[in-house]
Amino acid sequence: MRRIRSAALLMAAVAFSIQVSRAQSNPSQRVFRLDGGDVTYVAGVNDAGQLQTMYWGERLPAAQEFAPPKPGQGSSSFDMSSNTTPQEFTGWGGGLYVEPDLKVTFPDGNRDLVLKYQSHRVVADGFDVVMKDISREVYVTVQYRIDRETGIVRRSAEVSNRTGAPFLIEQVAGGTYNLPRALNYQLHYVTGRWAGEWDLQQQPVHAGRTVLESRRGTTGSQNNPWIMVDHVGDHDQDTGEVWFAALGWSGSWQISIEQDVVKGVRITGGPNAFDFSYLLKNGETFQTPYFYGGFSSQGVGGASRLLHRFEVDSLLPHAPQPKLRPVLYNSWEATTFNVDEAGQMALADKAASIGVERFVMDDGWFGQRNNDHAGLGDWTVNPQKFPHGLKPLIDKVHSLKMDFGLWVEPEMVNPDSDLYRKHPDWVLNFTGRPRTEGRNQLVLNLARKDVHDYVLQALDKLLNENDIAFLKWDYNRNWSEPGWSAVPVEEQKNVYVDFTRNYYDILEKLRQKHPSVEIESCSGGGSRVDLGVMHLTDEVWPSDNTDAYDRLLLQEGFSYAYSPAVMMAWVTDSPTWVNQRALSLEYRFLSSMQGSLGIGANLNKWTPEDFAKARTMIDVYKGVRETVQRGSLYRLMSPREGEQAVTESVSRDGRQAVIFAFLHSSSQLYPFPRIYLRGLREDAIYKLRVVTGKSEDDTPQSATGAYWMHHGVDVALRGDFQAAMFVLDRQ
């Protein structure tokens, strides 16, 4: 976790502390306290040597003392104390029935692992606690780091084998977060599928275990590795206690939310245990993915804002100053695989004329890629489409004052490709079994060193030979038959971890060698969005669904966990291919301007009026994008809850607020509900600028923040699929 280097450092230094103390009554008990932002997190070692949660919530005064940590009472002979103690990291053993953080099998068949405190050390921004099995030389360093600004805690663990022999890890987590006992918890998470990602769900936290997961090899969109928990009935976006957790892992994963027998709630997250094992040899260590946790007393809205801030200031590759996203053009929906030099140049001319800053050529430029049946794996320019290579197109794009981006899908291969003909053994497969295709393609086994090296070298060569500023890194299917026959049987399931580690390694190496190149994580839409990939990529593609109305719902779900700063949103053609819904160009722009604006329409079909409108809207966007991408997002009306959707973004310096309002359909003469703004300074004067749409006639031109927040503003929207945008500038 990077240190914050902004002007806020001075405040942050005061706002942050790590304390290790001995409990007064028993000096062998150790208490570890972290303070960051508005959050205090306290864990301690109890008499039984277990590390347990003591407090996680609203920041407490520094002088606050804690009673010594006490193991939970066993509820009966059926539930020993280890099941009712809110442990931070448990081995599976000694009669544990709750979700363990680590489960192993030793070569002699022993599967019992009981971890006890051994030592600790304080490090920058956190502490490490070393735990050890009661008899075997298995060590686990439980690691904590806190983000000074947001109080987000980063948990992870390093498992170390000094037993003299290998053992199998069968389940491992970054750690467990424990919530205070309560009976009315509610879980928020997202579900989805291709073109329908980010579908928000709420359900009570039930007795027993709820597992959110991906068994797909990568992050997936059926669930996303993020959750929030608040209290049932806390319906306001911006009030109430919320705990949240998110995994930094782009492989198969699981987050278990478990209400135990005494109604304690445990949240455990790590690689998915399904079909998993990892052979840890003597002398080796296994570092888990990061499992982040945070707390806000300002509702799910406040929790999202903390996550956004953390992503922008601490996680993204160039944090705390990631570059604002340029307005880009992408050729996919216009040309699909039919790309060629003349066609792309013509689109580039048109894109430049409306103020686009980055021109991205999508799929179809390489190998024999004339459709989705061939070419993946052959990362050389198609000579029929680009007889002189990419240089003439790139030069043209540069001459138009745009930078150039290119689509790749490096982990995949079509059976109809030179690469597959040469290396059929490079794909995930079980010997002698069918190889199931998805979109006519197979998944390369990136866990293999030769495959890793091939992919790295192919991308490196592409970037060395061409002046490319941006890669859209796509990934268009999930795993099947995840076999790896080239390694001994007991190592074959290492594929789940080694694949993802090699994916990260390639991203890291490319970034080191080509530090100015930016990368987008795309997976047929939003199937690879998580805090792991976000550390190595600059933006993400949330969905192939570019219908501007559907996007309001998708973008809202996305925004619960992820920042608009990374959320690419294209303006595409109408009616959309998705729903055949016709929407005005203005509506489509306003929907996309809620994130990082891109254009994905077929500009060859645009009228002069469309170009004029686009020029105006892109110009407006450039004037507000810092507020939209870096500001604080308030979800004022949810598209899930009625006919309206409204968001407000307030700039970091508080000088600007940008409001987008959408009406799906008006009926029975009902006016648009009044909009009450948030996050303004009560006594400051803000001037209203209506960019598109109309405010009601009695709306003042300028008023205090208090007026806009408490009196509110009425917009005059009527009809179907109408939209408005207005800006408040502090005087």
Can you say which residues are annotated as belonging to the binding site for substrate? 194, 362-363, 439, 472-476, 522, 544
Taking the least distance from each CB to ligand DGJ, the nearer of 541 and 587 is 541
Residues of this chain, 351-370, that bind ligand DGJ according to CB under 6 A: 362-363
Q: Which listed residue (38, 101, 128, 474) is catalytic? A: 474
Decide: is 332 part of the binding site for ligand DGJ (CB under 6 A): yes
- Annotated binding site, which residues? 194, 362-363, 439, 472-476, 522, 544
**Residue of 476, 537, 545, 722 interacting with ligand DGJ (CB under 6 A):** 476
Any contact of residue 725 with ligand DGJ (CB under 6 A)?
no
Residue whose CB is less far from ligand DGJ, 252 or 331: 331
From the CB of 197, what's the least distance to ligand DGJ, in Å? 11
**In angstroms, rounded to a whole number, what is the distance separating the alpha carbons of residues 95 and 80?**
7
86 cis-preceded (ω within 30 degrees of 0): no
Minimum distance between the CB of residue 298 and ligand DGJ, rounded to whole angstroms?
Answer: 34
Among 241, 258, 474, 556, binds ligand DGJ (CB under 6 A): 474
Tell me how far CA of residue 96 lies from CA of 107, 169, 470, in angstroms: 21, 17, 49
Measured CA to CA, the distance from residue 345 to residue 428 in angstroms comes to: 38
Contacting ligand DGJ within 654-683 (CB under 6 A): none
Q: Check residue 293 for interaction with ligand DGJ (CB under 6 A).
A: no
Please name the helix (run of DSSP H) or strand (run of DSSP E) that holds residue 37, with its range, or none: none
Token digits of residue 271 = 């690689």
- Is there binding between residue 541 and ligand DGJ (CB under 6 A)? yes
Burial call 345-359: b when 16+ CB within 10 Å, e when fewer: bebbebbbebbbbbb
Which of 454, 475 has the CB closer to ligand DGJ? 475
Q: Which of 407, 426, 470, 499 binds ligand DGJ (CB under 6 A)?
A: 407
Active site includes 125?
Answer: no
* Contact yes or no for 203/266 (Cβ under 8 A): no
Which is catalytic among the residues 38, 133, 530, 544? 544
Q: Which residue, 332 or 404, has its beta carbon nearer to ligand DGJ?
A: 332
> Is 544 among the catalytic positions?
yes
The residue of the chain with the least Cβ separation from ligand DGJ equals: 363
* Cβ at position 472, least distance to ligand DGJ in Å: 6
197 near ligand DGJ, judged by CB under 6 A: no
> Among residue numbers 504 through 523, which ones bind ligand DGJ (CB under 6 A)?
522
The alpha carbon of 405 is separated from its chain's Cα centroid by a whole number of angstroms, namely: 22
Helix and strand numbers (H, E) in the chain are: 12, 37
CA distances from 86 to 54, 262, 465, 579, 580 (A): 8, 10, 55, 48, 52
Q: Could you tell me the sign of the dihedral formed by the alpha carbons of 458, 459, 463, 468, in that order?
A: positive
Among 71, 86, 524, 693, binds ligand DGJ (CB under 6 A): 524
**Closer of 218 and 314 to ligand DGJ (Cβ):** 218
Measured distance CA(96)–CA(257) in Å, rounded: 16
Nearer to ligand DGJ, 92 or 570 (CB): 570
DSSP 679-695: S--TTSEEEEEEEES-B
Per the CB < 8 A criterion, the answer to whether 336 and 344 are in contact is no
Give the whole-angstrom CA distance, residue 445 versus residue 426.
6
Whole-number Å distance between alpha carbons of 560 and 299: 11
Residues that bind ligand DGJ (CB under 6 A): 332, 362-363, 407, 474, 476, 522, 524-525, 541, 544
Active site residues: 474, 544
